[in-house]
Amino acid sequence: MEYQNMELLRFTTAGSVDDGKSTLIGRLLYDSKSIFQDQLDAIETSSKNKGFDYVDLSLLTDGLKSEREQGITIDVAYRYFATPKRKFIVADTPGHIQYTRNMVTGASTANLAIILIDARKGMLEQTQRHSFIASLLRIPHAIVCINKMDLVDYSEKVYDKIVADFKAFSSKLDITDIQFIPISALNGDNVVNKSKNMDWYKGSTMMYHLETVHISSDYNHIDCRFPIQSVIRPHTLDNQDFRGFTGRIDGGIFKPGDKVKTLPSGFVSTIKNIELNGEQITEAFAPMSITMTLEDEFDISRGDMIVRENNVPEMGQELDVLVTWMNINPLQLRTKVIVKHTTNECMAMIKSLKYKVDINTLHRIEDIDKLQMNDIGRITLRTSKPLFYDAYRRNRKTGSLIIIDEQTNETIGAGMII
Amino acid sequence: MSNYTINHLKELESEAIFVIREVAAQFENPVLLFSGGKDSILLTHLAKKAFYPAKIPFPLIHVDTGHNFPETIAFRDALVEKLGVKLIVGSVQETIDKGRVKEEIGADASRNALQIVSLLDTLETHKIDAAMGGARRDEEKARAKERFFSHRDEFGQWDPKNQRPELWNLFNGRKNFGEHFRVFPISNWTEMDVWEYIKLENIELPSLYFSHQRDCLVRDGVILAKSEYIKLKPGEEVINMTVRYRTCGDMPITGAVISNADDLTKIINEIKTTRTTERGGRADDKRAETAMEDRKKQGYF
């Protein structure tokens, strides 16, 4: 079965208002034949009602009433399509400054970022912000699409200038794999089909990149990290002694017979069995959900972590964190918050605010006492109990946390441990 | 290290199981909303896998509109028996009898919207703080914006413009008294993924999904099953057809497709070449362009 053995690629799209994000996704869905007839009929009718000369593919992704009224994307919308090579999940995120929290949300699970630039406008503040977020959230791959090439006469000069500008900016960023592609989402140039209007471009199409970019090494398969979600005790006659630890592997490779250490207790034991639904698993690695049993019996519960004896994560109550602030109420020093990290949850206090990052210059602004919504800054968190963590650059799962308001229960910050 | 990969179905399974386990760990009184459709059957299968060898540690809730296919009810009862899991039934008929809602009248009358009240009543009676459902983001445009953990206020309403950001796999299920969550563990699955997985795992389904002979009528281009719950309009006639269902809602509103696909392989091939979405046959979605969003805001699945 060919379909059953496809890889899954999650990508996010970022761009400014009107640079054609929704149209691009519509184009990918349309040209990969992922749009059904009834969906197409619906948007054809809507386009006609609005008096457009062409079918507005962006209507495929703008789902909510208020978005249709304003013709903009408000919230993260997820889209799905598959080609014979891969299955794709698209997080379509808005470009407006006030909705940056959604961009960070979409970026947090992505393998790849598509950064859109309007060929007529070149690099904008928004482009820099989005690129910086992609880099900050350590999306391993990026495709920079210079869109609306049809409106600049498919000019190579315009394209080269934007590529040069982007490279100058991105040298300060931390994205290892960047591809540049000139496209017209509206007309389909270089999206799925190679453009006949840009002979000077020798690279491949966007779809080709999406289908072939190497993603299997995006997970950390070196440092063994297994945060415990829950403990299964069936209490049935058949399984009186069964005591299984459930969770999803966040790093490394676990095998039955491996010596492991449990945190925070420090007890050492051996993996007896790894299974799911009674089926044995010989090697477990990220992002698998499993149930693990150990040879020895001791007290382990949700929030604990199983690791290798000679490769343990950082352990501590004082964490340096780069935080994206996501709430209308600013971050203030000494505030008590709730922190969620792996399967752990605890109280914490924002102990210090070291600097805020100016996302245009990437300069640090020091001597501040607040972070406003959409600001990115470096803080120190003091937690009420020790957490087991890695630097975010080493592991996106054990290096990330969210900050929750104790009063409203809202998620107010996204943190990456330094 | 590059051979340490899992395919997309295993990745989706792994994600869904993680979410189901989070629900069991974070909430006091979770349930699984069981409609009898393939998505909720799949969800139940994943819940079984998540806690094996223990039993599913939460009950199933089924909102019985009274207009269900008899095949759905029979399948539900057999499944509950087999898994040894508790079943709670919320009845739309009871909600109508209590005078909480008024039945729609006319030939196109449906109990679809009435379910909202029965569902919210049932959740409240049983003090449910998290209800898992088999909704998928690829089904419908309003659902594409839904979170895995979707917060509902004390009136059971969804506020799509003020959703909590959801980052990495850190799910925030904190809430105030009286509020609850809807959780969608198979958010990222497509219709094709569901069918491929059902085949891979050999999951049993109600016979409705496979090709069979049935007395039908055609209304506004939708093939509906002839039943006691549907009144013929002038000019409509009952025709015996070879059909199957792609989704499984109430008898008066769920459209069938003409199909000879009588096994999973044939169904998958049929979906690969089909040109309409599975909800294309749902008369309830055709009432307005934003019909689903409007119902979801009120507390629909």
What residue segments make up the domains of chain A, in order of their start? 3-212, 225-308, 314-417
Cα–Cα distance list, A127 to A73, A176, B14 (Å): 17, 18, 34
The winner for highest mean pLDDT among A18-22, A284-288, B114-118, B280-284 is A284-288
Name the band, by pLDDT with cuts 50, 70 and 90, for residue A23. confident
| Residue partners of A417: CB distance under 8 A and separation at least 6 | A319, A320, A321, A389, A390, A391, A392, A399, A400, A401
Name the band, by pLDDT with cuts 50, 70 and 90, for residue A402. very high
A 10 A CB-CB count for B88 gives 16
Q: Which of A36, A33, A12 is nearest to A188 (CA)?
A: A33
In a domain, B102, yes or no: yes
pLDDT at site A1? 42
A72 touches chain B (CB under 8 A): no
pLDDT digits (tens, 9 = 90+) for B51-103: 999 999 999 999 888 778 888 899 999 999 999 999 999 877 777 777 777 77
> Where residue B185 sits, what CATH number does that domain have?
3.40.50.620
Give backbone dihedrals phi and psi of B238, rounded to 5 degrees, phi first: -90, 125
B71 with B24, same domain: the answer is yes
Query: Distance between CA atoms of A87 and A97, rounded to whole angstroms?
Result: 30
Average pLDDT, stretch A312-331? 94
B111 with B27, same domain: the answer is yes
**Dihedral sign from CA coordinates of A233, A235, A238, A241:** positive
pLDDT at site B1? 39
- Which of A4, A63, A239 is the closest to B141 by Cβ? A63
At the top level of CATH, which class does the domain A225-308 belong to?
A: mainly beta
Right CATH number for A314-417 from 3.40.50.1370, 1.10.540.10, 2.40.30.10, 2.40.50.140?
Answer: 2.40.30.10
Region label for B36, one of left (φ > 0), alpha (ψ between -120 and 50) or beta (otherwise): left
Query: Which residues span the domain enclosing B250?
Result: 194-286
Q: What percentage of chain B has pLDDT greater than the value 70?
A: 86
Token representation of residue A269? 């034991």
| Residue partners of A329: CB distance under 8 A and separation at least 6 | A405, A412
The structural domain count of chain B equals 2
Q: Identify the residue among B2, B3, B4 best suited for mutation to test binding to A, counting A beta carbons within 10 A and taking the highest.
A: B4
Q: Are B194 and B32 in contact (CB under 8 A)?
A: no
Contact B168 A108 (CB under 8 A): yes
B42 with B173, same domain: the answer is yes
Q: Can A225-308 and A314-417 be said to share one CATH topology?
A: yes
ipTM: 0.91
Least confident of A2-16, A121-135, A229-243, A349-363: A2-16
Contact A276 B190 (CB under 8 A): no
Cross-strand bridge partners of residue A81: A88
A 10 A CB-CB count for A196 gives 8
CATH of span A3-212: 3.40.50.300
- Give chain B positions within 8 Å (CB) of A94: none
Least confident of A197-206, B113-122, B176-185: B113-122
B52 touches chain A (CB under 8 A): yes
B125 with B201, same domain: the answer is no
In a domain, B3, yes or no: no
Q: Which of B14, B185, B5, B183 is nearest to A215 (CA)?
A: B5
Give Cα A260 distance to the centre of its chain.
30
Question: ∠ at Cα B81 (B78, B85), nearest 5°?
Answer: 125
In a domain, B1, yes or no: no
Name the band, by pLDDT with cuts 50, 70 and 90, for residue A101. confident
DSSP H stretches of helix in A32-124: 37-49, 65-70, 100-108
Per DSSP bridges, beta strands B180-183 and B130-132 are parallel
pLDDT at site A324? 92
Token representation of residue A407? 């009063």
- What angle do the packed helices B8-26 and B38-51 form, to 10 degrees? 70
- Judged against a pLDDT cut of 80, whether residue A94 lies above it is answered with no
pLDDT at site A4? 63
In a domain, B105, yes or no: yes
B174 with B35, same domain: the answer is yes
B59 with B177, same domain: the answer is yes
Query: Distance between CA atoms of A397 and A385, rounded to whole angstroms?
Result: 19
B166 with B255, same domain: the answer is no
pTM of the model: 0.90
DSSP assignment letter at B167:
B
Least Cα separation, residue B89 to chain A (angstroms):
26
pLDDT digits (tens, 9 = 90+) for A253-273: 999 999 999 999 999 999 999
- Which of A42, A234, A288 is the closest to B53 by Cβ? A234
B158 with B280, same domain: the answer is no
Cis peptide before B160 (omega within 30 of 0): no
B91 with B179, same domain: the answer is yes
What are the start-end ranges of the E strands in A230-343? 230-232, 244-248, 253-254, 259-263, 268-276, 279-280, 284-285, 289-294, 305-308, 314-325, 331-332, 336-341
pLDDT at site A146? 96
Token representation of residue B53? 């060898």
Environment class of residue B113 by beta-carbon count within 10 Å: exposed (0-12), middle (13-18) or buried (19+)? Answer: middle
pLDDT at site A46? 77
pLDDT digits (tens, 9 = 90+) for A40-70: 777 777 777 777 776 677 666 655 555 555 5
Coil, strand or helix: which one is B238? coil
**A42 to chain B: closest CA residue:** B289
B180 with B200, same domain: the answer is no
Contact B52 A341 (CB under 8 A): no
In a domain, B254, yes or no: yes
DSSP states of A350-410 as a string?
Answer: EEEEEEEE-TTT--EE-S--EE-TT-EEEEEEEEEEEEEE--TTT-TTTTEEEEEETTT--
Contact A64 B7 (CB under 8 A): no
Least Cα separation, residue B53 to chain A (angstroms):
6
| Residue partners of B221: CB distance under 8 A and separation at least 6 | none
B25 touches chain A (CB under 8 A): yes
B115 with B170, same domain: the answer is yes
B15 with B149, same domain: the answer is yes
